[in-house]
Each structure stands twice: as C-alpha cells, then as structure tokens.
C-alpha cells in the first residue's frame, strides 16, 4: 500500500515498537476495554441478545487490534494493511444474511477514542524526550486514522453476495419478526417457516466456541433432528457457530435424553428455554434460551448444557459480574473456595428442604457423610444456612454455574 506519511526515524521506530510490544501482551484486556464502547456506539440490539454474534464481534475487535500492533512491531510507522480473515469474513456474512447492519463507523470512532488514550498514556510512559514523543504521536495518529479508512475499504470490497442467498435468510427474518413481538398472522408465519406454531414449543440454542468445530455442531444437529424429540423440529442457521432450534409437540421433550445426546460432543454447548404454547411460547422460549446462552458466555462458564429454568435467578444476580462476585464472597466467605463437595452437599441439602435423608439419596452418599459435610460447610460460610437459606443457596448456585467467580 502507498505510504502516505514520512517513515519514522530509527529512534521513533524503537519507541513505537516498544509500546506495541507492551500492548500486545495486554491484548485481551485492551480488547474488552475497546469492545464495550464500540458495542454501545454500534447500536445493534442483536449483538447484545445473541451471545454468539457478540463473541464474534469481540473477536473481530481483537483481530483488528493485533493486526495494527503486530504490523507496527515488524514495520514501525508504516501504513498497515487491514486483514479480514476467514472468521471475520464469516461473521460479516452472517450479519448480512440476517439483515443486521451494526454501525461499524460509529463503533470505530468510539473504540479509536479509547485506543488513542491508552496509546498516548503508554507512549508518555515510554518516551521522555518531548520532541521524539511528538514525532511518535504524529506518525501513529496518522497510522491509526488511515487504518480505519482502509478497513472500511476492505469491508466494502468483501463479497457478501453468497450470504444474501443463504437459504435460512427468510426463516431468520421471520423468526426475528416473531421474537420482536410484532403482531403477525400465525398462518402466514407458519407458511414462511414451514413449521406449525399452534403447538407448544421448546427452544434451544446450540453453539460452538470455535468455528473450527462447526462440523461437530452439524453432527449434533443431525442427531437431534433424527431423534424422537426432533421429529417436528425447526432448525435455523443463526450464525457460523450457532443454530436456533425449536422442538414442538403435545408431549414435552425428554431434556435428559437431549442433554445426553448433545453432550456426546466435547465441543457443542446448549441453552434451553422454558416450554410454552403458540406464538408467545415460540417467542418466550427462544428469549429464554438466548438469555441462558448470554449468561454462560458472560460468566465464562464451562457448562455444556443449561436450562434457563434452572438458572433464571443466577442470570438476574450476575448481570454485573463484579456485583455477583461480591455477593458470593460476602455470603459464603471461606466456603466459596473450599472443597466443591462441601458446597454441593450444602446446596443439595437446602434444595431437599433441609432433609438429610433425601439429600443423601440425591447425592448417593451415606446420611452421616451428608451431615458431616453440611456441618463443615456451615462452619466455613459467613452467612449460616439457618439464618438466610435463600442467600446461601443463591450464592452456591452462582458458584455452580461459574466456579471461578470468587477468585476473580
């Protein structure tokens, strides 16, 4: 690419390289700092409600950040060639296929303002020569601004034609119309989806964390569709890494069987909504499943199968991770980082109505073992279970979903 500004002096190049090396080591933390303001500025609710898209949006931000930093480590001050790799291209095509158009320009402006402040702070900390610092900032300001311009050029040139021909595009558009609460004739929606809406529905979101595991996702979807529960399934390709599924029928699907089927793959994860009838059930169950997926991603949980009915309270408690951590630590104290068997026993004991015999049967443990564990767990807990069982149980449930939250 044509160089549009003078190359830096050797001294300025050394400063640019040194600062980039520091920031590359902090790339994950810096990506999170940039992604928040960019997401708000993009003003697209779909990125907040669909965790798979949100993950890909963050990955795109991280990729752009590393492209600029590593290029400036190798060739300080030179114009940086934007790169949309296969994963970024797939994400952009997913957006186009679903008719989504985040305001990338506004997002870039917001992220660039934050990035420049971090860059400026690190440059000032690295370079004590005022004249040299001016040269460094002058060159890198031009480089960052031009990188944004060049990135949008690459985005415009990206081929999105194939995505617009996605066979699922019409179904996704109809699903999003239903999910938004827009009034729509049921018969018309059924015709567009080729799926009966008058029955009860249970929605699932299946996803993989890495696009390299998409084949495993497709294998699980195929297995689910050929199972008894999947005879009347609606499956839509929500993105490269996620599928939206509805199971319908007068008999509720066996979630234990579905869990066993899905968790046979080490890469596929699942969120399940509560079952509900008709259009409202179709919509609310899907929203439940999306909320469960978003919570799992937000908390960095390793859970493979999550039913929203089991974690609705946890979702509410953990909207803010820092607040959730404080609640867990203040409630459980040392128990938060004690043996998991103690926490699980105490939680089961509370869930069994403080009945030791029932808890022992649930845990397949001896009654005396349960009594010892409950006693020891209660000793460690700051809030005693007999004083506030609701808070203790809630804190234990948070830890059950996100075991690492207390050690943040």
Which pLDDT score, from 0 to 100, does residue 157 have?
A: 65
Q: Write the pLDDT tens digit of every residue in 153-196.
A: 887 765 444 443 444 667 777 888 888 778 888 888 888 888 88
Q: Write the pLDDT tens digit of every residue in 78-137.
A: 999 988 888 888 888 788 777 777 888 898 899 999 999 999 999 999 999 999 999 999
Contact between 227 and 213 (Cβ < 8 Å): no
- What are 114's two structure tokens? 């934050």
> Which class would CATH give 320-407?
mainly alpha
Q: Give the dihedral of Cα atoms 110, 114, 117, 118; nearest 10 deg.
A: -150
Which pLDDT score, from 0 to 100, does residue 66 have?
A: 94
Which pLDDT score, from 0 to 100, does residue 404 have?
A: 87
DSSP one-letter string for 110-135: HHHHHHHHHHHHHHHHH---HHHHHH
Contact between 288 and 274 (Cβ < 8 Å): yes
Q: Considering the entire predicted model, what is its pTM?
A: 0.77
Do 169-312 and 320-407 fold alike per CATH?
A: no
Domain boundaries, the chain: 10-164, 169-312, 320-407
Which pLDDT score, from 0 to 100, does residue 158 have?
A: 59
Q: Rounded to an integer, what distance in angstroms lies between the CA atom of residue 296 and that of residue 319?
A: 11
Q: What percentage of the chain exceeds 70 in pLDDT? A: 97
Q: What is the mean pLDDT of each run of 10 residues along the chain (408 residues)?
A: 89 96 94 91 81 91 94 94 86 79 87 94 94 95 92 69 50 81 84 88 95 93 89 88 92 90 90 93 93 92 92 88 90 93 93 92 92 94 92 92 85
Which pLDDT score, from 0 to 100, does residue 169 have?
A: 66
Q: Write the pLDDT tens digit of every residue in 265-277.
A: 899 999 999 999 9
CATH code of the region 169-312: 3.30.70.100
């Amino acid at each position: 690419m044509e160089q549009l500004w003078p190359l830096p002096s050797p001294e300025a190049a050394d400063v640019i390289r040194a600062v980039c090396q520091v920031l590359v080591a902090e790339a994950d933390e810096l990506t999170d700092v940039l992604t928040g303001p960019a997401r708000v500025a993009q003003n697209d609710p779909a990125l907040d409600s669909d965790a798979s898209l949100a993950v890909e949006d963050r990955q795109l931000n991280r990729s752009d950040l590393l492209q600029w930093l590593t290029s400036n480590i190798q060739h300080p001050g030179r114009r940086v060639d934007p790169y949309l790799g296969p994963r970024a291209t797939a994400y952009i095509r997913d957006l186009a296929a679903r008719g989504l158009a985040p305001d990338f320009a506004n997002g870039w402006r917001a992220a660039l303002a934050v990035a420049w402040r971090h860059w400026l702070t690190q440059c000032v900390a690295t370079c004590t020569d005022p004249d040299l610092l001016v040269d460094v900032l002058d060159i890198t300001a031009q480089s960052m601004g031009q990188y944004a311009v060049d990135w949008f050029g690459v985005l415009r040139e990206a081929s999105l034609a194939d995505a617009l021909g996605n066979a699922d595009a019409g179904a996704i558009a109809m699903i999003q119309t239903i999910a938004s609460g827009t009034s729509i004739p049921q018969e018309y929606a059924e015709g567009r989806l080729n799926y009966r809406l008058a029955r009860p529905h249970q929605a699932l979101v299946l996803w993989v964390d890495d696009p390299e595991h998409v084949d495993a996702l497709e294998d699980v979807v195929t297995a689910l569709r050929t199972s008894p529960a999947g005879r009347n399934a609606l499956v839509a390709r929500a993105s490269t890494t996620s599928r939206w599924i509805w199971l319908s029928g007068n008999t509720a699907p066996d979630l234990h069987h579905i869990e066993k089927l899905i968790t046979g793959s080490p890469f596929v994860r699942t969120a399940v909504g509560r079952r509900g009838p008709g259009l409202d059930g179709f919509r609310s169950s899907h929203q439940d499943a999306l909320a469960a997926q978003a919570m799992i991603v937000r908390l960095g949980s390793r859970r493979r199968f999550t039913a929203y009915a089991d974690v609705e309270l946890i979702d509410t408690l953990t909207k803010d991770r820092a607040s959730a951590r404080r609640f867990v630590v203040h409630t459980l104290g040392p128990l938060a980082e004690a043996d998991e068997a103690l926490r699980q026993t105490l939680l089961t004991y509370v869930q069994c109505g403080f009945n030791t015999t029932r808890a022992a049967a649930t845990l397949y443990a001896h009654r005396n073992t349960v009594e010892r564990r409950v006693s020891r767990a209660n000793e460690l807990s700051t809030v005693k279970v007999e004083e506030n069982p609701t808070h203790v149980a809630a804190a234990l449930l948070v830890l059950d979903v996100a075991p690492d939250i207390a050690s943040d």
